[in-house]
Structure 1
């Protein structure tokens, strides 16, 4: 982070650095920053989140909770394990290039999702996905990074009871459909868990969701879905129902503007890599906001 901040200051930008002290502190500080409380009453042009997807999620929740008609733009200095939002936005990785983006990029409007009142920027999920997120040991995560999720996935699969979830989707015309699934990921962006793709047509700058429905339960199916994800097959299954059937696994990606998920009462709901709620959960698109990033790439370039 220091290199980015130094470059910004050398270029004439006024930067105030505030450190977090614990969980949800980034949310509190972002709300204060958006209102000018940390900059002597001056509303900043941007509030920059320096950290991983969990920190960014907190900052977005704080930023959009501020009582402002037009909150400051969100900027990112990605430092975490997966940095999925940064990848989705196509942010550069070098300190100098990232500083130039923060100082000079035209704000881009994107849409967050809302799950029982809690915002998420990239994805929310229930089922195995959410149990893995909740089960990861923070100490192991700091030591192993993404490896901690791989180990926890194996541990969860070994004891997975294969519950079922009822997912109700509403399209833009208000028509509803009901699906019985083993797991579900509600995607705002096309990347998942780093650079893996499960919803190729998901776009941050479009209202609504691409809902990934994993139909088959059981340990073997969970392993097969995981293998398909990391090898790039899952996205192709979602685009070709016949291919999914030939592969022996049920997988669909369905667009929706509203989502309700029911299942075991109190089951975790993950959003952007952290637990953000419990079942049952209702999701809809939140108000749009601005982010400092290069122009969003066409869908054809995201596949």
Structure 2
């Protein structure tokens, strides 16, 4: 089996030791090429080339969620099909939501052990993905989340801090979320975002909209966050929105999304946050978010600028992952 290891050397917890351990282990069983990313989008370019080459069976991403997202978009540049190489992930970022949602350890060396065992046992899983579409721009696949409005604004603020030299930490996200809440007073009262969905009345006035392809949405340290606890790689997309962010209502919602949500055994949905200003949908194939003014937009924790209209589609069994 021929494999490509894509390494983001700038990922938060990626080290030379981790790379060397993973490389040595994989080379014992695979014909392995190792490439370090050199610019934003490079991981996507490498994965697309591997997919188009037709000779690569497996692409391993060593990095954070941003690196994984680039690799996924490169692999699916021409859409899902049986010839697309399988994906494997070794977490190397600060949060690693996708890897942890797959059940992988958050430590890269431990995750490497799981990956090697999965390869030996031929374990793989076909997972669903989300796709975000904006007219005039390339479609963007996402593995665990996309967002329009407040949460994407927080991601943008964090990226600004990182460009100025700050290290990505959970404390940084919390601090920037609080600052964003204080500065976005007008939008907290009346949001610009409207949800449009076939067969449903439109929902206007949303301050933010979080689209989930799996659960949890993110982690605060080791604590999972559950705005859409029933979201799954085996269903279509879930949507969580808020139409007004009052101090009391926001505090109540934060408590709800931080409460434990053990998976149910009978396949039924797990109750999520509730409240007068909460919007919630589970297992939706297609919908559109429209903003009266350009609003911040993020995909898998990567801020992509402002958007006025984004359509979302859930695509089941879009990619095969080694787990």
- TM tier, shorter chain? 0.7 to 0.9
Query: 1:15 aligns to what SS in structure 2?
Result: strand
Aligned to 1:188: 213
- Secondary structure of the structure 2 residue equivalent to 1:281: strand
Q: CA deviation at 1:226?
A: 3.1
Q: TM-score, normalised by structure 1?
A: 0.81
* Aligned alpha-carbon RMSD (Å): 2.6
Q: C-alpha distance in 1, partners of 2:21/2:321? A: 21
Distance 1:141 1:82, change over 3 A: farther
Task: Check conservation: 1:50, 1:78, Cα contact below 8 A.
Answer: yes
Gaps of 5+ in 1: 37-41, 294-303
Task: Work out the CA distance in 1 between the residues paired with 2:260 and 2:80.
Answer: 41
| 1:275 counterpart residue number | 303
Deviations 1:85-122 (A, max 9, x none): 11111113403233323554422111211111111111
Query: What TM-score comes out, normalization by structure 2 length?
Result: 0.77
CA gap 1:142/1:14 in 2 versus in 1, 3 angstroms:
farther
Mapped to 1, the partners of 2:141 and 2:79 lie a distance apart of 16
Residue aligning to 1:215: 243
How far is 1:244 from its partner? 2.9
> What is residue 51 of structure 1 aligned with on the other side?
63
**Matches of residues 44-193 of structure 1 in structure 2 within 5 Å?**
44-66=56-78, 69-70=81-82, 71-92=84-105, 93=107, 94=110, 95-116=112-133, 117-136=139-158, 137-139=161-163, 143-160=167-184, 161-162=186-187, 163-170=191-198, 175-180=199-204, 181-193=206-218
Q: Which has the higher helix share?
A: 1
Say which SS state the counterpart of residue 263 (structure 1) adopts: strand
Structure 2 unaligned residues grouped into runs of 5+: 1-18, 134-138, 264-268
Sort the Cα spacing of 1:177 and 1:292 in 2 relative to 1 into closer, same or farther, 3 A: farther
